[in-house]
Chains A and B, each alone.
Chain A
Amino acid sequence: MPYRTLAKFVGIFAIVALTGCGQTEPPAFRLDMVKVTENEISPKHQQAIADILGAMFGTPDAPFAMPETGLDERKLKMAAGPVWSNEAGDKHGLYRRHCAHCHGISGDGQGPTAAILNPYPRDYRRGLFKFKGTFTAAQPTDEDLRRIILNGVLATAMPAFALLPPDEVDALVEYVKYLSMRGQMETALENYVFDEGLEPDAPLDPATDAELKDIIVNDLLAGVMEGWNTVVEQVVVPTEEGIPPTDRSAEEITASVNAGRELFFGAKANCVKCHGPTGLGDGQQDNYDDWSAVTVKFEDDTRALADEIKGLKQDLKKKTGDERAAAEKELKTKVAQLAVRNELIAHMLTPRRAIPRNLRDGTYRGGRRDIDLFWRVFAGIPGMGMPATGPSAPGGQGTLTEQEMWQIVDYIQSLPFEPISEPQVRRVNVRTVN
């Protein structure tokens, strides 16, 4: 009965989570149990996937980088493992020192403090990052990741690590990419097992199956790496002519702010739909972000399964003989599935809605430079539903011109200083921004 074993497996996880590991047990990467459950991956295949990932990426104490990943193992070793330093003061275990308590050993964004934070720490395993200077679908550059580590994410629990020596920051950038690639590879393997329709006890061992090994390296890993390897072609570089000059006159700035306001409230850029008529972020607030959406779907599917079980129980009464035995077997399987799902839901982060940024308090999570705001307007915020006004891919068709995007950037920066309601009398001696 695979599901019973699965339930035990999850049970052990729960016990470990509640009581803590013994001191001697080294930390291990955890599989994404939501994906495992959705894809109905048997305990045997769970072990096989963990083994394959172990061979490709090593362990949290001893990371390994296949040459295909292009990762620098020296940097990974500096970031991985337990926290210690030598007499010369070289620090090791940087990820566990600075990051793991929120982002988790596996980079799943489910470290011990995750549940009490808002927003939740980033789950790296999807290769999806919000604040970057590349096209919507592209991965972040090293520079994007470094900037977030150095500056932190304003108005969230993510602190700035600007005081770390540059080589330590580099090591962390490398390790975040490593956890991200490992997570994407795990998903690719879990999808592979589902897509191929492998029977629960079918073999899954690249050591004895040359074709499988070839598929893992040349199809699955190559698929993961394609995004990371092409980042340089995906950087959004604003055209020189479009960038507002630094020596603009007050009139020129005012004209640009006014044009930006027109766009913000107009039907073309439509910022107002989500950021609200006052810019307080109180427009459309019903979306879930992509990470929470996974949880919501899992919960919905679990409720559907509970309903299905109710129906099956009703039907069972009408059945006799062999038919009844078969129905009982099906029912038992589904009940076990439901138990596994409910156990998982009990430990999942509560889904949260994607609330558009309040543009009146002047805090911008992805950075407050003009170029940061330009990138947000150009490519949107992946995973959050914030759409792009620039082209979807290099050379594509955008909705706004770059000049219009810069006008919106100008307007956003003046918005906190704009009165919420139209003042009835404009006082003469007060210089308003517009």
Chain B
Amino acid sequence: MLKTLTSSTLILLSLLATAPSMAAEWGSLKGRFVVDGKPADPPPLLVDGKDPFCFQNKPENDIVVVGEDNALKNVLVYLRVPRRGEVEIHPNYAATLNQPVTLDNNGCKFVPRITLVRVGQPLVIKNSDPTGHNTNIGLFGFNPVIPANTENKVKATKDAPLPMPVMCNIHPFMHAHVLSQKHPYMAVSGDDGSFEIKDLPAGTHEFQLWHEAQGYIKDLVLKGGKANRQGRVNLKIEPGKTLDLGDVKIPASKLTVR
């Protein structure tokens, strides 16, 4: 009896072990965004005295953030799956679908400025400020009041081809964007301008490039190809390898904010 149990367990285990190998081969994409030139300072936010906390806090306009060494923060790179197409999702991402993503109202700013979320993923809308906010996400049709030091949990209900605006109507100077996709293959450049999308299925894929000040970044020249008029570029991901785009230069003129 014990023997049968052990052997059946063994069979089961071996089945489990072979399962992932049925999947495609995987590769990664990385790079670093830098500004070519010096972008004009974004106009200051119009923060009036109606909310003393926000007024004292003086939030800065963080639509364009340039770090050391011309590093450009908050550039989006994400996989564009053709209509009705499907993309294989690496088992490593299975758990992330249930991990909540947090969008914080902090210092009268949305943190992060760009939120990445998968359809069905929990989204925690938080307010770390001692003042009340609301978080208006048009894409999902949600606009809850978020009292001081509280949070509200919602779910990403649908996807959109481009990032969609998020705003606080109590404080109209607060802006952010949310990108919602059916897959996890999206990245936003960090403080050092770098980004990485891991475990992509090997093959040639279309990627969308986007920055809030510009929208889709058209005609951008990359190491692996040139973006089209909608800021999309075909890149080849090779199995077991990482495609490193190196420094991707975005002209400062594309980052003008009015």
Please tell me if A113 contacts chain B, counting CB pairs below 8 Å. no
Q: Number of B interface residues, CB 8 Å?
A: 40
Q: Does the CB pair B169–A284 fall under 8 Å? A: yes
Name B187-238 residues within 8 Å CB distance of A. 228-230, 232
* Contacting residue for B256 out of A137, A191, A197, A307, CB 8 A: A307
Nearest Cβ distance between residue B28 and chain A, in whole angstroms?
26
Give the interface centre of B135, B136, B167 by most chain A CB atoms within 10 Å.
B136
Nearest Cβ distance between residue A423 and chain B, in whole angstroms?
26
Q: Does the CB pair A392–B172 fall under 8 Å? A: no
Contacts of A47 in B (CB 8 A): none
**Interface of A (DSSP majority class):** loop
Nearest chain A residue, comparing its CB with the CB of B206: A197
Nearest Cβ distance between residue A360 and chain B, in whole angstroms?
19
Please tell me if B144 contacts chain A, counting CB pairs below 8 Å. yes
Contacts of A215 in B (CB 8 A): 83-84
Q: Does the CB pair B140–A387 fall under 8 Å? A: no
Known A-B contacts A283-B50, A300-B258, A311-B253; the reply to A137 vs B142 at CB < 8 A is yes
Q: Does the CB pair A397–B131 fall under 8 Å? A: no
Nearest chain A residue, comparing its CB with the CB of B257: A304
Contacts of B138 in A (CB 8 A): 290
Q: Does the CB pair B148–A267 fall under 8 Å? A: yes
Q: Which of A25-33, A141-149, A268-276 contacts B (4 or more CB under 8 A)?
A: A268-276
Contacts of B142 in A (CB 8 A): 136-137, 388, 392-393
Nearest Cβ distance between residue A279 and chain B, in whole angstroms?
15
Q: Which of B85-93, B113-121, B149-157, B242-250 contacts A (4 or more CB under 8 A)?
A: B149-157
Q: Does the CB pair B132–A267 fall under 8 Å? A: yes
Nearest Cβ distance between residue B110 and chain A, in whole angstroms?
15
Contacts of B161 in A (CB 8 A): 191, 195
Q: Does the CB pair A137–B141 fall under 8 Å? A: yes
A136 to B143 CA separation, bound complex (whole angstroms): 7
Name A254-297 residues within 8 Å CB distance of B. 267-270, 273-274, 283-284, 286-287, 290
**Interface of B (DSSP majority class):** loop
* Contacting residue for A399 out of B136, B152, B232, B258, CB 8 A: B152
Please tell me if A385 contacts chain B, counting CB pairs below 8 Å. yes
Please tell me if A60 contacts chain B, counting CB pairs below 8 Å. no
Nearest chain A residue, comparing its CB with the CB of B232: A197
Please tell me if B170 contacts chain A, counting CB pairs below 8 Å. yes
* Contacting residue for B83 out of A219, A388, A399, CB 8 A: A219
Q: Does the CB pair B147–A274 fall under 8 Å? A: no
Please tell me if A396 contacts chain B, counting CB pairs below 8 Å. yes
A191 to B230 CA separation, bound complex (whole angstroms): 13
Contacts of B154 in A (CB 8 A): 392-393, 396-397
Please tell me if A389 contacts chain B, counting CB pairs below 8 Å. yes
Please tell me if B145 contacts chain A, counting CB pairs below 8 Å. yes
Nearest chain A residue, comparing its CB with the CB of B141: A137
Nearest Cβ distance between residue A131 and chain B, in whole angstroms?
15
A216 to B138 CA separation, bound complex (whole angstroms): 24
Name A177-214 residues within 8 Å CB distance of B. 191, 194-197
Please tell me if B35 contacts chain A, counting CB pairs below 8 Å. no
Known A-B contacts A195-B161, A197-B230, A387-B136; the reply to A287 vs B169 at CB < 8 A is yes
A267 to B145 CA separation, bound complex (whole angstroms): 10
A397 to B142 CA separation, bound complex (whole angstroms): 12
Q: Does the CB pair B258–A303 fall under 8 Å? A: yes
Nearest chain B residue, comparing its CB with the CB of A194: B230
Contacts of B83 in A (CB 8 A): 195-196, 215, 219
Nearest Cβ distance between residue A227 and chain B, in whole angstroms?
9
Contacts of A400 in B (CB 8 A): 145
Q: Does the CB pair B145–A287 fall under 8 Å? A: no
Give the interface centre of B46, B130, B141 by most chain A CB atoms within 10 Å.
B141
Contacts of A273 in B (CB 8 A): 50-51, 132, 170
Q: Does the CB pair A284–B172 fall under 8 Å? A: yes
Nearest Cβ distance between residue B17 and chain A, in whole angstroms?
39
Nearest chain A residue, comparing its CB with the CB of B172: A286
Please tell me if A386 contacts chain B, counting CB pairs below 8 Å. yes
Please tell me if A382 contacts chain B, counting CB pairs below 8 Å. yes
A195 to B85 CA separation, bound complex (whole angstroms): 14
Question: Can you show 7 pairs from A to B with CB atoms below 8 A apart?
Answer: A267-B132, A270-B145, A284-B50, A380-B143, A388-B143, A393-B155, A400-B145
* Other A-B pairs, 20, CB within 8 Å; known A137-B142, A274-B170, A397-B153: A136-B142, A196-B83, A197-B229, A267-B130, A270-B145, A284-B170, A287-B172, A304-B256, A311-B253, A354-B169, A380-B143, A385-B167, A387-B169, A388-B145, A392-B152, A393-B142, A393-B155, A396-B153, A397-B154, A399-B145
Interface residues of A (CB under 8 A from B): 136-138, 191, 194-197, 215, 219, 267-270, 273-274, 283-284, 286-287, 290, 300, 303-304, 307-308, 311, 354, 380, 382, 385-389, 392-393, 396-400
